[in-house]
Amino acid sequence: MAVIDRKKLILEAAAKSLSLYGYKATTMDQVAKLANVGKGTIYTFFKTKEELFDEIINSLIADIRFEVEGVLDDSASILDNVNNVLVRIHEIRESHQLTIKLIQEERDMGTQTVVEAMQRVEQSIIQYMKAIIQKAIDKGEIKACDPEVAAFVMLKMYFSLVIDWQRNHPPLKKEEIAKLFELYLLKGLLA
């Protein structure tokens, strides 16, 4: 179309700057310049810097959801589905430029807005997983349980294993983690 979509330009510019510099180091002047737009224009679409940021996080959440849906397979077992979802999310965390930058900023500077945003992302991931688990319960594949707690436990356990474990040990291979999931969460330890 002939009319330039300024809102889109702004969102793209902001996303780019956030990916490169993080939240704190992204200024509204910077975004305006990158988007070839007057700074005031940004404020016709977004009330504050935080609102602009939140909209980009919404896109990120949508992207992740899209990726997650891509690896879901209704005919696969719950173990495979959960595992594939978690592996995919972990891959995104490690390859997606924006995610990398935000995790870094959260860890190194503890920027409040970023901490909150990452918690929102985590919450949304738990919600997808909750739905997956609910389906498995409905199918009778696993026992009845609170699907949200189950999703929470799985996510925490997965990231403990791939991230925290490495602090003092050689990293676990993907298949090892899958085995551990099967043992601890599905089969149980009881002899």
Partner DNA sequence: CAAATGACCATATTAGTATTTTAGTCAGTT
Partner DNA sequence: AACTGACTAAAATACTAATATGGTCATTTG
Chain positions contacting DNA, by CB under 7 A: 4, 6, 24-29, 32, 36-41, 43-44, 47-50
Handedness of CA 121, 127, 132, 137 (dihedral sign): positive
The option from its own copies, DNA, none interacting with 94 (CB < 5 to 8 A, set by class) reads none
Distance CA 103, CA 126 (A): 18
User: Least Å distance between CB 190 and its own copies?
Assistant: 5
Q: Are 52 and 140 a contacting pair, CB within 8 Å?
A: no
Choice between 25 and 100, CB closer to DNA: 25
Q: How many whole angstroms separate alpha carbon 138 and alpha carbon 34?
A: 49
Residues 153-182, interacting with its own copies (CB under 8 A): 153, 156-157, 160-161, 164-165, 167-168, 180
Q: Does 125 bind its own copies (CB under 8 A)?
A: no
How many C-beta atoms surround the C-beta of residue 131 within 10 A?
12
Name which of DNA, its own copies, none residue 72 binds, using a CB cut-off of 5 to 8 Å depending on partner kind.
Answer: none
Q: Record the tokens describing residue 70, joined without a space.
A: 């891509």
* Chosen from DNA, its own copies, none, partner binding at 37 (C-beta under 5 to 8 Å by type): DNA
Structure tokens at 49: 């810097």
Which residue, 14 or 177, has its beta carbon nearer to its own copies? 177
Is residue 184 near its own copies by the rule CB under 8 A?
yes
| Maximum Cα–Cα distance across the chain | 70
Minimal distance in Å, beta carbon 117 to DNA?
15
What is the SS3 assignment for 144? coil
Return the structure tokens found at 97.
């430029």
b (16+ CB within 10 A) / e for 54-91: ebbbeebbeebeeebeebbeeeeebbebbbbbbbbbbe
**Out of its own copies, DNA, none, which partner does residue 185 contact, by CB within 5 to 8 A per kind?**
its own copies
Question: Whats the size of the chain, residue-wise?
Answer: 191
Of residues 26 and 124, the one with the C-beta less far from DNA:
26
Residues that bind its own copies (CB under 8 A): 78, 119, 123, 140-143, 145, 149-150, 152-153, 156-157, 160-161, 164-165, 167-168, 180, 183-191
